[in-house]
Amino acid sequence: MSEWCQNKKCPEKKNQNQIRGSKGAKYYQSNKSSGYYKYWCSMGCRDQWWNEHKDTCMNAVGYIDKQILPLDDAWFVEYRYDWRTEEHNRYHLINKLKGVDQLTREQAQTPEDIRQDYGWSTRPNSEAKPLAIQLGLAS
């Protein structure tokens, strides 16, 4: 892995911080890759790289056909903020085929969420269907 931004046009950004070299022989150089973008310095460089290499990437990864998710299995826990009620944090267990059920905070959140007091956080989708089964909404 390189520490430098993988977009070969990175120096063409011509940012002040990219200038190096001594008088008479100055040049723009690539930025270092960022922790967040990993291989690139910025979203712009990632986009530029992607536009040039997307076909190569797709050929390497392989193409897949249409994917489906049956509605029967597609449960999720949703957080909503409701300013009208005394308890603003509302949680719902949702399946678009079967409707919506109100949850308590203990049902909607992991013990870790509650400990951290992350009101907006909800259980991952993988726990939504087991919860629906537990509450007698799904089998």
DSSP letter, residue 105: H
Q: Which is nearer to Zn ion, 4 or 101 (CB)?
A: 4
Q: Tell me the C-alpha distance between 103 and 92, whole Å.
A: 5
Q: Which is nearer to Zn ion, 31 or 109 (CB)?
A: 31
Q: Tell me the C-alpha distance between 55 and 1, whole Å.
A: 21
At closest approach, how far in Å is the CB of 49 from Zn ion?
8
Binding site for Zn ion (CB under 5 A): 5, 7, 10, 31, 41, 45
Q: Which is nearer to Zn ion, 28 or 89 (CB)?
A: 28
At closest approach, how far in Å is the CB of 104 from Zn ion?
48
Q: Tell me the C-alpha distance between 108 and 68, whole Å.
A: 26
